[in-house]
């Protein structure tokens, strides 16, 4: 009960801004210390902050380590889902593109589980992942160029229309791609 009373007193004296700021500082401090104390990998027991520690029971074979998501790495999945939804104009095309995207995500999970096979250096797997990353970057650049060119072409067509043609177009076509809605 005293912690609640302390929080209420703190809220009255500093306001909501002070409480939010103090919780932010506490959370940030805990996150920084947690990061510094965290070992670099599931099979390594030392970090540069803690020094070498052999007291943890770490498996000698990396294949014995249960797989878990690495929460510190950037995940592009939400961004790609957003692009998918935004670039699909109609419900019909959004449904098909979402299904295709989900199939590729599932296939990537199967493929990724078979990339790392040569313990302990994983040279082949690292080469494959580097090639995939370079291919992804090239693909993103090509997709961006495609959509910029497509939008430029659409804008040229729109700018070439008279005001009456634009009004007629907007009355007949509603989904933004020139397809009549049923």
For the residues 167-180, what does the mean pLDDT come to?
Answer: 70
Q: Which residue has the higher pLDDT, 128 or 75?
A: 128
Same domain for 151 and 171? yes
Please give the pLDDT value at position 147.
93
For the residues 25-54, what does the mean pLDDT come to?
Answer: 70
Same domain for 142 and 181? yes
Same domain for 177 and 130? yes
Please give the pLDDT value at position 55.
47
- Whether residue 3 has pLDDT greater than 80: no
The answer to whether residue 66 sits within a structural domain is no
Average pLDDT, the chain: 76
Residues 57-87: pLDDT tens digits?
555 555 555 555 554 456 778 888 888 888 8
- Whether residue 23 has pLDDT greater than 60: yes
The answer to whether residue 64 sits within a structural domain is no
Please give the pLDDT value at position 76.
76
Could you tell me which residues come within 8 angstroms of residue 92 by beta carbon, excluding any fewer than 6 positions away? none
Cα–Cα distance between 137 and 147 in angstroms, integer?
16
Which of 14, 37, 55 is the last residue in one of the domains? 55
For the residues 34-50, what does the mean pLDDT come to?
Answer: 67
Cα–Cα distance between 8 and 3 in angstroms, integer?
9
Same domain for 178 and 120? yes
Q: Which residue has the higher pLDDT, 165 or 50?
A: 165
How many folded domains does the chain comprise?
A: 3
The answer to whether residue 39 sits within a structural domain is yes
Same domain for 144 and 106? no
Same domain for 181 and 122? yes
How far from chain centre, in Å, is Cα 80? 7
- Whether residue 36 has pLDDT greater than 90: no
Same domain for 93 and 142? no
Residues 101-111: pLDDT tens digits?
999 888 988 88
The answer to whether residue 25 sits within a structural domain is yes
Same domain for 18 and 46? yes
Q: Which domain holds residue 3?
A: 1-55
Same domain for 153 and 98? no
Same domain for 125 and 152? yes
- Whether residue 140 has pLDDT greater than 90: yes
Same domain for 149 and 105? no
Same domain for 95 and 131? no
Contact predicate 45/56, CB 8 Å = yes
Phi-psi group of 135: left, alpha or beta (phi > 0 → left; psi -120 to 50 → alpha; rest → beta): alpha
């Amino acid at each position: 009960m005293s912690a609640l009373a302390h929080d209420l007193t703190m809220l009255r004296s500093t306001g909501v801004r002070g409480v939010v700021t103090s919780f932010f500082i506490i959370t940030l401090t805990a996150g920084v210390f947690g990061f510094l104390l965290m070992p670099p990998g599931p099979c390594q027991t030392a970090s540069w902050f803690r020094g070498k520690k052999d007291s943890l029971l770490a498996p000698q074979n990396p294949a014995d380590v249960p797989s878990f998501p690495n929460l510190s790495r950037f995940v592009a999945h939400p961004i790609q889902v957003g692009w998918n939804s935004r670039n699909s104009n109609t419900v019909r095309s959004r449904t098909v593109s979402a299904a295709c995207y989900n199939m590729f995500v599932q296939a990537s999970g199967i493929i990724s589980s078979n990339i790392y096979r040569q313990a302990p250096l994983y040279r082949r797997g690292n080469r494959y992942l580097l090639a995939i990353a370079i291919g992804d970057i090239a693909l993103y650049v090509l997709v961006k160029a495609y959509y910029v060119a497509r939008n430029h072409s659409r804008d040229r067509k729109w700018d070439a229309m008279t005001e009456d043609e634009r009004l007629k177009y907007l009355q007949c076509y509603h989904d933004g791609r020139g397809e009549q809605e049923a």
